[in-house]
Amino acid sequence: MTQPFQWQGRTDGETQEHLRIHQVINKHTPAKFALIGFASDEGVRRNKGRQGAKAGPDAIRHQLAGLPIHQPLAIKDVGTIRCDDGNLEAAQRRLSDQLIALLADNQKPIVLGGGHEVAFASFQGLFDYVEQHQAGKTIGIINFDAHFDLREAPVATSGTPFLQSAMLCQQHQRSFKYLCLGIADHGNTKILFDTADTLGCQYIRDKELAYSKLPQAIEKIKKFIDEVEYLYVTVDLDVFSAAIAPGVSAPAPKGISTEIFDELFAIIKSSQKIAVFDIAECNPEFDIDNHTAKLAAYLIYQYLF
């Protein structure tokens, strides 16, 4: 773990109606929410994407710091796990172990990426926690993403996390339940669609996430949620258009709107089944005026409140 991030920002007063996140973080024990960074773009490098997501966690924290508090919030920052030596697998295991500990302490982890290789670590942590404490309970993955990330490769990358998750489930004879929202036809090869179908994955294309088709999407999401006890929800920021999320590994020419995301996420959140939530692919090196980091902070804000 790295040295703690210095939470600071504008202060308008110390009474409840003036408070911002930087004024309340790390002030409550126990905390309901726990932020943890995953500073890695090793998976992106292996996947031949553009690097820079390693700086994502602190960029998101900077944008979170000044957001206002409208109701009491118990949240802490437990630091950042870094992958500086190229050993992605060891870093993923460290994150998974930290998540197991947080979940066992009845806290809700929010993981700040980092490349989407964070997803396997997040899922593995929740999977191992459930196996250790509530074996037999079913986990569902909801991934907001333009890409399936079901690639087959000799080593783990940012493109393999959900195939790794499927293999982990198979090893333990558990069901693999995966719903991907925002899939782009132009962002996935046919073999990835074939793999998704073979594994029994569910998906909704970006072009189907329009207001005219929203009732069908909502029905599908609700049915998926009803079939699981726990949810791991992950947002790859490239699910949004490059116009609003330029700072990602693979910018999207189309993507879904924040309005559609808000509607879908509100339904997912209302299930009260989210156990782990993460944000991936925030890449400050290619961001414009912090648009993508601000978007990531906004998404986390929707989860907190």
Q: Annotated binding site, which residues? A: 116, 145, 147, 149, 236, 238
Of 111, 112, 118, 182, the closest CA to residue 144 belongs to 182
Binding site listing for Mn(2+): 116, 145, 147, 149, 236, 238
Cα gap 261→62, rounded to integer Å: 23
DSSP assignment string, 251-299: -BSS-B-HHHHHHHHHHHHHTT-EEEEEEE---GGG-STTHHHHHHHHH
Rounded to the nearest 5 degrees, what angle is found at the Cα of 50, between the Cα atoms of 118 and 145?
A: 50
Annotate 51-85 with b (16+ C-beta within 10 A) or e (fewer).
ebbbbbbbbbbbbbbebebeeebebbbbbbbbbee
Please count the CA atoms within 13 angstroms of the CA of 120 that sit on its side-chain side: 28
Asked if 180 and 143 count as a contact pair (C-beta separation under 8 A), the reply is yes
Give, as one character, the DSSP assignment of residue 245.
-
**Alpha-carbon Rg for the chain in angstroms:** 18
Position of tokens 């920021």? 237
Sign of CA dihedral 211, 212, 214, 217: negative
Q: How far is CA 1 from CA 53, 98, 215, in A?
A: 17, 10, 44
Query: Tokens in use for 245?
Result: 């999320």
